[in-house]
Structure 1
Amino acid sequence: MKLYSHPLSGNSHKVRLMLSMLRIEHEEIVVDLLKGEHKTPSFLAMNPLGQVPVLVDGEETLRDSQAILVYLARKYGGEAWLPSDPAGMARVVQWLSFAANEVHHGPFLARLHFLLGVQLDLGLAQDRSRAALDILDAHLARRAWLELDRPTIADLAVFPYVGLVREGKVMLDDYRNILAWIERIHTLPGYVAMPGL
């Protein structure tokens, strides 16, 4: 198994966490985004979007961190990380959508502005960050994990960019429930760190 990633990519980190927590041996291949390695013909043949992460597992080549989490959870994680019952699965998947939408348009973009100097409406990204954090903090006021009273891929999908939100100049100090959830994630067996987390 091979993971094409970048050390500062929160989306890559989601997959790195899942692989570590499932104890799956793999080779990690760093894609140098600043040198444009994600735009080379060989990389674009794996992912025409030119984005990390990409997972290669035998004959399977998968892009998109949420899709890779689903694949790993169903193939290697049994019921623990992604249940097969319709209601449980839906509860988990709704947070994958939250990660791909609210978290992407808030914490991800605000961080991208400061990390790479990407020009965007920073005020809007920071406002969306706070709106997403409000929803997440209120949800976590009543539970330890996002769904099903245990860690699932929902937690891994949402965690990295929420944990990195300070790099987008949005503070977490007032979000006590989120801070406690982040600490619980840090204590999970197989947790691995990344710069900023």
Structure 2
Amino acid sequence: MVKPEQPIKFYQHPISGHCHRVELLLSMLDLPYEPILVNLPKGEHKQPEFLALNPYGQVPVIDDAGFVQVDSNAILVYLASRYDDGTWLPRDPKGAAQVQHWLSLAAGPLAYGPSMARKMVLFNEDVDLTPAKMEAERLLTFMEAELHSRAFLTGETANIADLAMYSYVAQAPEGNISLEPYEAIRAWLQRVEQLPGFVAMPINAVGLRAD
């Protein structure tokens, strides 16, 4: 398996599930990387130095020997394509399409459901949680049905689809979304957590909001 010539620079913040999904793959592929904290509360992601890396002012970003990639799902695709043999990103048309389906769900219903609800609660936003909770319920109900028939999201082995979905589903209770009704999802979370190289998000994410 190919390895980077030098550690991959990984611009991140621990409170971000988008960053965590990238950290999971970096760890599971055993790739050397240098975590670089971007202080979101201080607005470092909106400063010229960071905007030169990502004009959208969002983490995560990686710099792999001068190749800069933004967007967590795109980073997963890059790392799996560059440094893996097809385990984490299937090369066959059916397998690749199934993974893409889940990446789209991660960018849509997951972002506007569990992730949005968590953000609103963690940052004490005075907004109605109902739309995010309804989106989360639709997504989790769909996932629950899918996971009754297989161990991971696309089959019997994990790939980047599972990593893209894991972080914000696991942290859904931080957005006042209970996982108690979803037995298959809770079992899937445990299977992901048992994968070699798994790293957990900080337990007290709320504490990471302040300096």
TM-score normalised to structure 2 length = 0.91
Instruction: Choose the corresponding residue for 2:187, options 174, 180, 184.
Output: 180
Contact 1:52 1:64 in 2 (8 A): yes
Instruction: Choose the corresponding residue for 2:17, options 1, 10, 17.
Output: 10
CA drift of 1:148 comes to 3.3
How many residues get paired?
Answer: 197
Match of 1:61? 68
1:80-133 deviations in whole A, cap 9, x for unaligned?
A: 000111111001111000000010010010000011234543111011111110
Structure 1 segments, 4+ long, off by >6 Å, are none
Task: Give the % identical residues.
Answer: 47
Q: Which residue identity lines up with residue 141 of structure 1 in the other structure?
A: H
Instruction: Choose the corresponding residue for 1:100, options 89, 103, 107.
Output: 107
Instruction: Choose the corresponding residue for 2:129, options 122, 125, 142.
Output: 122
Q: Which residue identity lines up with residue 13 of structure 2 in the other structure?
A: H
SS of equivalent residue, structure 1 residue 3: strand
The alignment yields a C-alpha RMSD, in angstroms, of 1.1
Q: Which residue identity lines up with residue 32 of structure 1 in the other structure?
A: N
Q: Which residue identity lines up with residue 103 of structure 2 in the other structure?
A: L
Q: Measure the CA separation in 2 of the matches of 1:30 and 1:78.
A: 30
Q: Measure the CA separation in 2 of the matches of 1:156 and 1:93.
A: 13
Q: Measure the CA separation in 1 of the matches of 2:163 and 2:189.
A: 10
Contact 1:164 1:196 in 2 (8 A): no
Match of 1:28? 35
Q: Which has the higher helix share?
A: 1
Contact 1:15 1:65 in 2 (8 A): yes
Unmatched segments (≥5 aa) in structure 2: 1-7, 205-211
Q: Measure the CA separation in 1 of the matches of 2:52 and 2:125.
A: 26
